[in-house]
Amino acid sequence: MSIHLENIAKHYGRGGRHQALAPLDLDIQQGELIGLLGPSGSGKTTLLRIIAGLEAPDHKPAGRILFGERDVTQLHVRDRRIGFVFQHYALFRHMTVYDNVAFGLTVMPRRQRPSSGEIRARVHRLLEMVQLEKLAGRYPAQLSGGQQQRVSLARSLALRPDVLLLDEPFGALDAKVRQELRRWLRHLHDELNFTSVFVTHDQEEALELSDRVVVMSDGRIEQIDTPEALYRAPANRFVFKFLGDANHLEGEVRDGVLTCGDARLDVDLPDGPEDLLLRPHEVALDTAPRESAHLPVTVTAISPVGAEVRVELAADWLPGPWLATVRHADFERLTLSRGQRLFALPRRWHRFEDSAPAAHDSAALLAG
């Protein structure tokens, strides 16, 4: 089922002083898996709860929420046919796993309710699907976090919802379980073909799991795009910085040279102040400066764990430290050690004006 949001806004507090969501539009296609990504306070959970009907959007301006062709704006949560997975699972603590999953079926009006035999069969199928048949008689407090989250998913799927909404579904789990559940959710989504929206503050999770990611900040949508497009072409400075580590290069451009203290870099930009951004993997290190780039730095920390070595760099001309990732081979060639003085060579940098983003391959390495 597709989801269509039109002019949805939310204000809190007396007289609506605090804005949680600026008026926004959003279209989600049938069968899509959408990630709402943003820092805390960006309004992503509020948006999810408004889609669910757990919170009402502002009446003025009057917004609309459509599920497919159906206008659900005025519809109560219980009639929207959604599955909702809560951040801390919200399992009924006094009920067994079985009773938790069966709840939605047992509270249906008598006329629509399936027979007790069918309820039993459906609950067992769901428990089988989340691989928890053996724990049907346990209470939530006797389960691990990952198991509780799977019960919560099974419970939300019992009524065969068209739309599955998940609020930070993996936030409280440790890294390994999170990875496993992510893969499992993706699989489940593809198999059952419902429309899913999940909220996360973890960019890696959003990029890995979603068909499209909605990046939010301050109650506004900053960008909606596929993970690849988002990472390659962030719409603005906020999206760029939120999707990964970013190094700042701030300085003054004059006659095609950006200077900042005793550092300088050839750039093809008009005169004026600039604040360029670089990803850690876009910073190379060498023992000598180039004609086109003179950026002296000192190594302050080294973390050799993982596919690449992470090196922290500092310099007088830098307001904050830079982060560079170096291949292990280069790391050994340069025999890096803390306190060593080197030169940074930007491979590529990004520049954001108010609206037009731009990425430039640096002349420094091409020339060198």
Partner 1 sequence: MQRIGDAPVLRRTLIGAAVALAALFLLLPLVAIFAQAFAKGLGGFWSNVSDTYTLSAIGLTLFITVLTIPVNLVFGVMLAWLVTRFQFPGRRLLQTLIDIPFAISPVVAGLVYLLLYGRNGWVGGWLDAHDIQLMFAWPGILMVTIFVTCPFVARELIPLMQAQGSREEEAAVTLGASGFTLFRRVTLPNIRWALLYGVILTNARAVGEFGAVSVVSGAIRGETNTLPLHVELLYQDYNTVGAFASAALLALIALFTLAAKAGLEWRATRREASA
Q: Which of 84, 198, 238, 343 binds partner 1 (CB under 8 A)?
A: 84
Contact between 172 and partner 1 by CB under 8 A: the answer reads: no
Cβ closest to partner 1, residue 77 vs residue 229: 77
Distance of CA 177 to the CA centre of its chain: 18
Is residue 358 involved in binding partner 1 (CB under 8 A)?
Answer: no
Shortest separation between residue 148's beta carbon and partner 1, angstroms? 12
**Window 38-57: residues binding partner 1 (CB under 8 A):** 52, 54
Minimum CB distance to partner 1, residue 105 (Å): 9
Residue of 204, 244, 237, 205 whose CA lies nearest to 223? 237
Please identify, using beta-carbon distances, which residue of 148 and 236 lies nearer to partner 1.
Answer: 148
Q: Going residue by residue from 191 to 230, which x/- string records binding to partner 1, judged by CB under 8 A?
A: ----------------------------------------
Q: Give the binding range for partner 1 (CB under 8 A) out of 155-163, 177-185, 287-295, 336-344.
A: 155-163
Cα separation, 153 vs 170, in Å, equals: 11
CB of 118 to partner 1, least distance (A): 17
**CB nearer to partner 1: pick between 93 and 183:** 93
Pick the piece of the chain touching partner 1 (CB under 8 A) from 25-33, 67-75, 88-96, 335-343. Answer: 88-96
Task: Single out the segment in contact with partner 1 by CB under 8 A; choices: 75-83, 117-125, 209-217, 296-304.
Answer: 75-83
Closest distance to partner 1 from the beta carbon of 262 (Å): 56
| Site membership for partner 1, residue 283 (CB under 8 A) | no
Closest by Cα among 61, 55, 63, 51 to 195: 51
Per CB under 8 A, 14 contacts partner 1? yes
Nearest approach, Cβ of residue 87 and partner 1 (Å)? 8
Q: CB nearer to partner 1: give 156 or 362.
A: 156
Tell whether residue 113 is a contact of partner 1 (CB under 8 A).
no
Q: Which is nearer to partner 1, 167 or 274 (CB)?
A: 167
Q: Can you tell me which of 107, 121, 301, 367 binds partner 1, judged by CB under 8 A?
A: 107
| Candidate residues 29, 62, 71, 93; the one interacting with partner 1 per rule CB under 8 A | 93
CB atoms within 10 A of CB 14: 6
Region from 80-88, 233-241, 315-323, 343-351 binding partner 1, contact rule CB under 8 A: 80-88
- SS3 for the chain, per residue? CCEEEEEEEEEECHHHCEEEEEEEEEEECCCCEEEEECCCCCCHHHHHHHHHCCCCCCCCCCCEEEECCEECCCCCHHHCCEEEECCCCCCCCCCCHHHHHHHHHHCCCCCCCCCHHHHHHHHHHHHHHCCCHHHCCCCHHHCCHHHHHHHHHHHHHCCCCCEEEEECCCCCCCHHHHHHHHHHHHHHHHHHCCEEEEEECCHHHHHHHCCEEEEEECCEEEEEECHHHHHHCCCCHHHHHHCCCCEEEEEEEECCEEEECCEEEECCCCCEEEEEEECHHHEEEECCCCCCEECEEEEEEEECCCCEEEEEEECCCCCCCEEEEEEHHHHHHHCCCCCCEEEEEECEEEEECCCCEEEEECHHHHHC
Binding site for partner 1 (CB under 8 A): 14, 52, 54, 77-79, 82-84, 86, 88, 90-94, 103-104, 107-108, 139, 141-142, 155-156, 158-159
